[in-house]
Amino acid sequence: MKRLTVTTLKGSIDETNSINARHWDNTPFLTSRSTVLGALANCAVRQLFPIDLAQALSSFDSKFTGSDYFETDCTNLRRCVRSAFNMCPIILGWNKPKKSEHTVVFCSRYGQTDFIDLDALARNAAHAVTLEEKYNSLHQ
């Protein structure tokens, strides 16, 4: 493995001691149900602040298959989150454009949108949980 050291204002970061992004999807880690709910809320608010966020999180929590603490990997977590979305009508409603009569809507990352891309939301939430848990495991 090629060793890379990056010097920052806070010191040096050795790439071999950091998380290797190519292996995130398949490396199992321990996480909690509350961590997944927190990541979901954070990522949903970053895409578009949903008015019914509290109700949606409650619905998601009742449909999510994970126990209070469980072992998973990023790929499996993304599938489980997306599967729970499919059972939550409130969250499915986030994916429908509210101001448009068209079923297909194109948007810009920098433009205003009135819907949430559920695939991106599931991926972002799973990735956020993975980053947090991998970071915590490296710094304990």
Contact 92, 82 (CB under 8 A): no
How much is the pLDDT for 104? 59
Strand, helix or coil for residue 57: helix
Contact 32, 68 (CB under 8 A): yes
How much is the pLDDT for 97? 75
Residue 22 confidence class, pLDDT cut points 50, 70, 90: low
Q: Model confidence over 23-72: pLDDT tens digits?
A: 556 889 999 999 999 999 999 998 888 889 999 999 999 999 878 999 99
How much is the pLDDT for 24? 59
Q: Is the pLDDT of residue 98 over 60?
A: yes
Mean pLDDT of 97-119: 65
Strand, helix or coil for residue 44: helix
> Alpha-carbon distance 66 to 61, whole Å?
9
Contact 135, 19 (CB under 8 A): yes
- Percent of the chain with pLDDT strictly greater than 90: 51
Per-residue CA distances from 110 to 48, 94, 101, 105, 114 (Å): 12, 19, 22, 15, 13
Q: Is the pLDDT of residue 7 over 80?
A: no
Type of residue numbered 87 = M
Strand, helix or coil for residue 30: strand
| Residue pointed to by tokens 């489980």 | 80
How much is the pLDDT for 83? 95
> 10 vs 112, which has greater pLDDT?
112
Please write down the HEC assignment for all residues of 70-99. EEECHHHHHHHHHHHHHCCHHHHHHCCCCC
Mean pLDDT of the chain: 79
